[in-house]
């Protein structure tokens, strides 16, 4: 991606040069392709992407969690994996492992 590729032969789920396939590896490969797609979108340099109004609104020494801009954009700002569990170890234990 950084070298400017515009085509990626992903072979999702393939093992042993395509002689075998695996559903688990397929799911992991698809998740990686999702990360690659988000990465290839690049940095959003639009007015909304730079959030200069939010920076001015919040000011130094505060946080952006309650800011209108954050509330409107947090769901699409990052890649959210379909298979990774990003919860804490404590939450995992509380939910019964």
Q: What percent of the chain has pLDDT over 90?
A: 25
Looking at residue 90, its pLDDT comes to 94
pLDDT for 22-60, tens place per residue? Answer: 999 999 999 988 998 888 888 889 988 889 989 888 888
The answer to whether 39 and 1 have CB atoms below 8 angstroms apart is: yes
Position 64 pLDDT exceeds 80: yes
Q: Domain residue spans in the chain?
A: 1-42, 43-97
Mean pLDDT, rounded, for 1-6: 77
């Amino acid at each position: 991606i950084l070298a400017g590729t515009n085509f990626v032969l992903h072979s999702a789920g393939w093992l042993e040069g395509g002689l075998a396939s695996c559903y688990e590896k397929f799911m992991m490969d698809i998740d990686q392709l999702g990360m690659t797609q988000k990465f290839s979108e690049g940095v959003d340099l639009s007015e909304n992407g730079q959030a200069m109004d939010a920076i001015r609104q919040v000011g130094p020494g505060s946080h952006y969690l309650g800011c209108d801009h954050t509330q409107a954009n947090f769901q699409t700002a990052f890649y959210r994996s379909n298979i990774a569990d990003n919860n804490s170890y404590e939450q995992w234990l509380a939910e019964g492992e």
